[in-house]
Amino acid sequence: MDANESRKLSLMLVLFFQVLAVTLPGCFLVASQQLPIKKPALQTLAAKGHGFSSSLVFPVTGNVYPLGYFSVSLSIGNPPKPFTLDIDTGSDLTWVQCDAPCTGCTVPKGQLYKPAKSSIVPCKDPLCAVINGGPPCKNPNEQCDFKIQYADSGSVIGVLVRDYFPLRFINGTLPRPNLTFGCAYDIDHGQHNPPPTTGVLGLGKSAASISSQLGAAGLTQNVIGQCYSAKGGGFLFIGNDPVPSSGVSWVPMLQNTMAKHYASGPADLLFGGKPTGLKGLNVIFDSGSSFTYFNSAVYEAILNLLSKDLNGKPIRQVQDPALPVCWKGAKPFKVLSDVKSYFKPFTLSFTSTKNAQLQLTLENYLIISEHGNACLGILNGAEAGLGNYNLVGDISMLDKLVIYDNERKQIGWTSANCNRIPKS
């Protein structure tokens, strides 16, 4: 694999491990001359006061392959400064690269977030404990530092700040809520090359996520919709207005040990519409992951199903730097429809709800690599450090509107034209 190819591989693998982001308790001090501690001013989130709420719609850029991420542009501060953020329903804290100064930041100094004294969030802020899994400091007036450890060995250390987010709601109002996020001054990219974004948009379930903060302030309902096109791009929304009133398959969010994640199940896996014997799978929906991951046993079973089914067809397995498992035909493939006659769809059939089936058509589990091979976009989660988790990544959500409804504790999807952005 040449240097250029390995760079591309790294880019694709950057974001997905964030599903397992764990925050480690502990205070990481910033030199006080850089980030002086502000006098305490405990800010509690505005209570959900009134029945009105609106929604936000953002255009999304990116693709599963070759880029490996989807991002939105958000402005922060006064005067507002734009930041490009990877969208991640698999982690909670939104963070941006920080001029504190910074180790491991990847964008020019002028594009970093420069925290003002007044924006530093003190340790006694309730969100500081949420982010750190408990009260992290002896002194409640200290700045609140955080560390997020990603399962792929990457990590981010920063300080919690609070600043204006100038927004545009679809009802026409232009609110400017103060939201809490991370100013990341020490970024370790692990074994992967950094993506060209300036941070992460955390849309997870905890009170610290941007969607939870907007919900707690009574500005939007805590509902997230993502629609990524197989052609690239798409849209993201926060709020309930763009949710279709019919045609959505809804399944309950799991409230057990997987309650930290957007998880549902149990589901049976079908191949070509037929049972595979793979039953009772719990899956996490994670927009921070480009590809889909199954635990080792399920992954091996899927490889067996595919190799049995491809037996006798004019296609053979080949090494390709794009992904671990690829197939080559007589001629290089150009588009997925070139392999339509070789591959059958998978289906995740949720047994909790009648007719709740997540169809994985070819575009939802295969890519055509730059070398013209068809490659499997389903990976072994154990090899990726995900343990026994099954994780539905972006590839399996393409051309679907996927809705994470924290108000009604359910996850929904429907097929959609994701290039048609709801008017905002």
Ligand X SMILES: *[C@@H]1O[C@H](CO)[C@@H](O)[C@H](O)[C@H]1NC(C)=O
Catalytic residues: 88, 286
Compute the least distance from the CB of residue 69 to ligand X, in Å: 28
Partnered with residue 141 across adjacent β-strands are none
SS3 content of the chain, % helix, strand, coil (to 5): 15, 35, 55
> Phi and psi for 395 in degrees, rounded to 5?
-55, -40
How many angstroms separate the Cα of 407 from the Cα of each of 37, 242, 348?
Answer: 36, 15, 24
Q: Give whichever of 18 and 54 is closer to ligand X, judged by the CB atom.
A: 54
Which range touches ligand X (CB under 6 A), out of 166-174, 247-255, 297-305, 411-419?
166-174
Compute the least distance from the CB of residue 171 to ligand X, in Å: 4
Compute the least distance from the CB of residue 15 to ligand X, in Å: 28
Judged by CB under 6 A, the residue of 6, 32, 171, 337 near ligand X is 171
Compute the least distance from the CB of residue 25 to ligand X, in Å: 25
Q: Which string of x and - marks every residue 199-228 that binds ligand X (by CB under 6 A)? A: --------------------x---------
Which range touches ligand X (CB under 6 A), out of 94-102, 165-173, 241-249, 406-414?
165-173
How many chain residues interact with ligand X (CB under 6 A)? 16
The answer to whether residue 173 forms part of the interface with ligand X (CB under 6 A) is yes
Q: Give whichever of 178 and 359 is closer to ligand X, judged by the CB atom.
A: 178
The answer to whether residue 118 forms part of the interface with ligand X (CB under 6 A) is yes
CA 122, 126, 130, 135 dihedral sign is positive
Compute the least distance from the CB of residue 38 to ligand X, in Å: 9
397 is written with which tokens?
């959500």
> Phi and psi for 120 in degrees, rounded to 5?
-70, 130
Kindly report each contact of residues 81-86 with a partner whose C-beta sits within 8 Å and lies 24 or more positions away, as own/partner.
81/111, 81/113, 83/111, 83/113, 83/198, 83/199, 84/196, 84/197, 84/198, 84/199, 85/197, 85/198, 85/199, 85/200, 85/201, 86/14, 86/15, 86/195, 86/197, 86/199, 86/200, 86/201, 86/288
The answer to whether residue 54 forms part of the interface with ligand X (CB under 6 A) is yes
The answer to whether residue 364 forms part of the interface with ligand X (CB under 6 A) is no
Judged by CB under 6 A, the residue of 6, 32, 43, 415 near ligand X is 43
Q: Give whichever of 220 and 390 is closer to ligand X, judged by the CB atom.
A: 220
The answer to whether residue 414 forms part of the interface with ligand X (CB under 6 A) is no
Judged by CB under 6 A, the residue of 73, 106, 178, 410 near ligand X is 178
Q: Which of residues 233-262 bind ligand X (CB under 6 A)?
A: none
The answer to whether residue 49 forms part of the interface with ligand X (CB under 6 A) is no
Which range touches ligand X (CB under 6 A), out of 111-119, 312-320, 336-344, 402-410?
111-119
The answer to whether residue 407 forms part of the interface with ligand X (CB under 6 A) is no
Whether 292 contacts 392, CB under 8 Å: yes
Q: Residue 38: left if φ>0, alpha if ψ -120 to 50, beta else—which one?
A: beta
CA distance 250 to 247: 9
CA distance 250 to 353: 8
Compute the least distance from the CB of residue 6 to ligand X, in Å: 41
Q: Which string of x and - marks every residue 135-164 that binds ligand X (by CB under 6 A)? A: ---------------------------xxx
The answer to whether residue 263 forms part of the interface with ligand X (CB under 6 A) is no
Compute the least distance from the CB of residue 244 to ligand X, in Å: 20
Nearest CA to 264 among 415, 411, 90, 386? 411
The answer to whether residue 415 forms part of the interface with ligand X (CB under 6 A) is no
Instruction: Please state the length of the chain.
Output: 424
The answer to whether residue 117 forms part of the interface with ligand X (CB under 6 A) is no
Nearest CA to 210 among 267, 285, 127? 127
CA distance 211 to 172: 19
Q: What DSSP string runs through 342-385?
A: T-PPEEEEETTSTTEEEEE-GGGTEEE-TTS-EEE-EEETTTTT
The answer to whether residue 174 forms part of the interface with ligand X (CB under 6 A) is no
76 is written with which tokens?
């922060």
The answer to whether residue 169 forms part of the interface with ligand X (CB under 6 A) is yes
CA distance 87 to 204: 10
Residues forming the site for ligand X (CB under 6 A): 43, 52-54, 116, 118-119, 162-164, 169, 171-173, 178, 219
